[in-house]
Amino acid sequence: MSDMKSLLDIGVAVVNLVGVPVAIVLFFITKRRERLEREYGTYNSLDEKYIDYLRICVQNPNLDVFDLPMPNYKPTPELRWQELQVFSMLIAILERAYLMYRDKSHAIRQAQWVGWEAYMKDWASRQNFRDAWGKLKGQFDCAFEKYMESLLTKVRPL
């Protein structure tokens, strides 16, 4: 009986020696997977919103709201009003990108935020976007508004 107890004690010690490190490794693997899923969710959510924005651009080819400026664009007051509405949607997407990526890991910020920031700078150089921002600011997150204001100060209009 004493031999059996000794074998059980050894078995318990082996399980503890192997089981605890395995549990720790599994814990970190699970946490990493959860983080990656959250990061993918962030990317996917913004991607869907951006695709919706592109659909609006396709549906409104008479507006200068696509990524590339429309040459010789001379909008009527009605077109300016429609443009303002579409820019309101775009700014909301940019705000979401700012809020979602500002607290992410360095790797994700490098992979995703850099592109969003370049995109914002492109828009900040367009006068119609600047005009829309001037009318719409004050409706967004304060930190995002400060960020956009600093961007508009740094980027020269085309």
| Mean pLDDT, rounded, for 95-118 | 81
Q: Between residues 117 and 158, which one has the greater pLDDT?
A: 117
Q: What value does the mean pLDDT of the chain take? A: 87
Q: Is the pLDDT of residue 103 over 80?
A: no
Q: Is the pLDDT of residue 82 over 80?
A: yes
| Mean pLDDT, rounded, for 93-116 | 81
CB 99 within 8 A of CB 130: no
Nearest CA to 129 among 80, 96, 93, 95?
A: 80
Please state, in angstroms and rounded to a whole number, the distance separating the CA atoms of residues 91 and 97: 10
Q: What's the pTM value of the predicted model, to 2 decimals?
A: 0.77
Q: Between residues 41 and 146, which one has the greater pLDDT?
A: 146
